[in-house]
Amino acid sequence: MTTQTTRPSERSGTSPANSTDEPATKAARDWRGVADDDRDELPAKASLVLREHSRRLLGELLRPHRKAIWVLVAIVLVENAARLAVPYLVHLGIDNGIPPIVSGGSSATLIVIVAAVLVAALTQAYARQVFLMRTGRLGQTILLGLRRRVFDHFQRLSPSFHDKYTSGRVISRLTSDVDVIDEMLETGFDGLVTALLTLVGTAVLLLTLDVRLALIALVSFPVLLLITAWFRSRSAVVYRRTRETVALVIVHFVESMTGIRAVQAFRREPRNEEIFDQVNDRYRQANLDSFRLNAIFMPSIKLVGNVTIVAILVYGGWQAYHDQVTVGVLTAFLLYLRQFFEPLQDISQFYNTFQSASAALEKLSGVLAEEPDVPEPLRPATVGTTRGRVTLSGVEFSYVDGVPVLPGLDLDVPAGQTLALVGTTGAGKTTIAKLVARFYDPTGGRVLLDGTDLRDLAEDDLRRRVVMVTQENFLFTGTVADNIRFGRPEASYDEVVEAARVIGAHEFISALPDGYDTPVEKRGSRLSAGQRQLVAFARAFLADPAVLILDEATSSLDIPSERLVQQALRTILADRTAFVIAHRLSTVETADRVIVLEHGRIVEDGAPAGLIHAGGRYATLHTAWVDSLA
Amino acid sequence: MPSDQPVPVPSRSRNLWRLRPYLRPHIWRLAMMFGSSVIGVGVSLAIPLVSRSVIDGPVNRREIDLLVPLGLLALTLGVTEAGLIFIRRWVQSRAVSGLETALRHDLYVRLQALPMEFHTRWQSGQLLSRVTVDLSTIRRFMGFGLLFLVINILQLIVVTILLLNLYWPLGIVVLAAAVPIIWLSLRFEKRYLAISRRVQDQQGDLATHIEESALGFRVIKAFGRREHVKSQFDDGAVKLYGTSLEKVRLASRFWTFLEVIPNLTLVIVLLLGALAVGNGSVSLGTLVAFITLMLSLIWPVESLGFILAMAQEAMTSADRITEILDTESSIASGLTELENPRGHLRFENVSFRFRPDSPDLLRGIDLDLPPGTTLALVGATGAGKTTLTSLVPRLYDVTGGRVTIDGHDIRDLTLTSLRRAVASAFDDPTLFSMSVRENVTLGRPDATEADVQQALQIAQATFANDLPWGLDTRVGEQGMSLSGGQRQRLALARAVLARPAVLVLDDTLSALDVHTEALVEEALRRVLAGTTGIVVAHRASTVLLADLVALLEDGRITRVGTHHDLLATVPAYRRLLAADDGHEPPDAVRRDRDVAMSRAHDIESGSGDTEEREVHAR
The mean-pLDDT minimum among A531-545, B306-320, B452-466 falls in B306-320
pLDDT of residue B584 exceeding 70, the answer is no
In terms of Cβ atoms closer than 10 Å to its own Cβ (0-12, 13-18, 19+), residue B337 is exposed
Determine whether the interchain pair A94/B274 forms a contact, defined as Cβ–Cβ distance below 8 Å. yes
Helix B67-113 to helix A269-321 angle, to the nearest 10 degrees?
Answer: 170
Distance CA B394, CA B410 (A): 8
* pLDDT value at residue A418: 92
Q: Around Cβ A1, how many Cβ atoms within 10 Å?
A: 10
Name every chain B residue with its beta carbon within 8 A of the beta carbon of A469.
Answer: 222
* pLDDT value at residue A224: 87
Determine whether the interchain pair B277/A3 forms a contact, defined as Cβ–Cβ distance below 8 Å. no
Domains of chain A (ranges; CATH) run: 46-368 (1.20.1560.10), 390-629 (3.40.50.300)
Nearest CA of chain A to the CA of B5: how many Å? 15
Model confidence pLDDT, tens digit, residues B118-175: 887 777 777 887 888 888 888 888 878 888 888 888 888 888 898 898 888 888 888 8
Name every chain A residue with its beta carbon within 8 A of the beta carbon of B215.
Answer: 167, 474, 523
Question: For A118, which residue in chain B has the nearest alpha carbon?
Answer: B267
Nearest CA of chain A to the CA of B541: how many Å? 5
- Give A338 or B109, the one with higher predicted confidence: B109
Question: For A21, which residue in chain B has the nearest alpha carbon?
Answer: B446
Distance CA B101, CA B97 (A): 6
Specify the DSSP element, H or E, that contains A561: helix A559-573
Name every chain B residue with its beta carbon within 8 A of the beta carbon of A27.
Answer: 437-438, 445
Query: Who's near A117: CB < 8 A, 6+ residues apart?
Result: A86, A89, A90, A93, B263, B266, B267, B270
Model confidence pLDDT, tens digit, residues B56-69: 887 778 788 888 88
Task: Let me know: does A307 contact B75? Beta carbons within 8 Å.
Answer: yes
Name every chain B residue with its beta carbon within 8 A of the beta carbon of A282.
Answer: none
Nearest CA of chain B to the CA of A220: how many Å? 15
DSSP character string of B380-444: -TTSSHHHHHHTTTTSS--SEEEEEETTEEGGGB-HHHHHHHEEEE-SS----SSBHHHHHGGG-
Q: Around Cβ A70, how many Cβ atoms within 10 Å?
A: 10
Distance CA B73, CA B92 (A): 28
Name every chain B residue with its beta carbon within 8 A of the beta carbon of A263.
Answer: 112
Question: For B263, which residue in chain A has the nearest alpha carbon?
Answer: A121
Backbone angles phi, psi at B459, to 5 degrees: -85, 5
pLDDT band at B316 (very low <50, low <70, confident <90, very high): confident
Question: For B227, which residue in chain A has the nearest alpha carbon?
Answer: A152
Q: What is the mean pLDDT of residues B251-260?
A: 83
* pLDDT value at residue B276: 86
* H-assigned helices in A259-268: 260-265
Determine whether the interchain pair B210/A280 forms a contact, defined as Cβ–Cβ distance below 8 Å. no
Give me the interface pTM, i.e. the ipTM. 0.81
User: Which of B79, B479, B597 is the closest to A35 by Cβ?
Assistant: B479
pTM equals 0.76
Question: For B578, which residue in chain A has the nearest alpha carbon?
Answer: A629
* pLDDT value at residue A348: 66
Determine whether the interchain pair B442/A268 forms a contact, defined as Cβ–Cβ distance below 8 Å. yes
* pLDDT value at residue B598: 34
Determine whether the interchain pair A629/B233 forms a contact, defined as Cβ–Cβ distance below 8 Å. no
User: Which of B51, B79, B238 is the closest to A313 by Cβ?
Assistant: B51
Domains of chain B (ranges; CATH) run: 13-325 (1.20.1560.10), 345-429+500-617 (3.40.50.300)
* pLDDT value at residue A46: 64
Model confidence pLDDT, tens digit, residues A422-458: 887 678 888 899 999 999 899 999 999 998 999 999 9
Name every chain B residue with its beta carbon within 8 A of the beta carbon of A162.
Answer: 214, 217-218
* pLDDT value at residue B368: 93
- Give B10 or A127, the one with higher predicted confidence: A127
Query: What's the distance, CA B395 to chain centroid?
Result: 20
* pLDDT value at residue A555: 66
Nearest CA of chain A to the CA of B12: how many Å? 28
Distance CA A46, CA B7 (A): 47
- Give the CA angle between residues A535, A536, A537 to the nearest 5°: 90
Determine whether the interchain pair A426/B291 forms a contact, defined as Cβ–Cβ distance below 8 Å. no
Determine whether the interchain pair A624/B597 forms a contact, defined as Cβ–Cβ distance below 8 Å. yes
Name every chain A residue with its beta carbon within 8 A of the beta carbon of B609.
Answer: 1, 426
Question: For B585, which residue in chain A has the nearest alpha carbon?
Answer: A626
Q: Classify each residue of B1-16 as buried b or exposed e, where b means 16 or more C-beta atoms within 10 Å of its C-beta.
A: beeeeeeeeeeeeebb
User: Which of B111, B213, B260 is the closest to A151 by Cβ?
Assistant: B213
Name every chain B residue with its beta carbon within 8 A of the beta carbon of A231.
Answer: none
Determine whether the interchain pair A167/B215 forms a contact, defined as Cβ–Cβ distance below 8 Å. yes
Residue spans of chain A under pLDDT 50: 1-29, 37-42
